[in-house]
Amino acid sequence: MLSLTETAAEKVRGLIAEQKLDKNANLRIYVKGGGCSGFSYGMAFENETDEQDKISESNGVRVIVDPVSIKYLEGVEIDWVENGMGGGFKFQNPNAASSCGCGHSFNA
């Protein structure tokens, strides 16, 4: 499915603690139309899953993806990167034909 680097997983666990969420919260990763390249990535914390969701675990984080998004996210690696402007999640998507400079949207 997809994977989180250890750095990204640590950040996710930190966000769960910081937001005082249930420690067993799932990380939902999805794709939606929009962004400067056609599709954009989204992430949210959820306690519930749908029976059609694809569920996996990566570096101790439970990840859920809906059946529509999975075709765009297969093989994606998510990392957490810091730079002079702060930090953010970076998606390495082998399925993307192109992506924008910010790394938050892509074209399939």
pTM of the entire predicted model: 0.83
pLDDT at 97 over 80: no
Residue-level pLDDT at 35 = 58
| Per-residue model confidence as pLDDT tens digits over 20-65 | 999 889 999 999 887 566 788 899 999 999 999 999 999 999 999 9
Residue-level pLDDT at 102 = 47
CA 46/CA 57 separation, integer angstroms: 14
Instruction: Go through the domains of the chain in sequence order and give each one's CATH number.
Output: 3-95 (2.60.300.12)
User: What single string gives the DSSP state of each residue in 78-90?
Assistant: EEEEEETTEEEEE
Average pLDDT, the chain: 87
CA 108/CA 100 separation, integer angstroms: 12
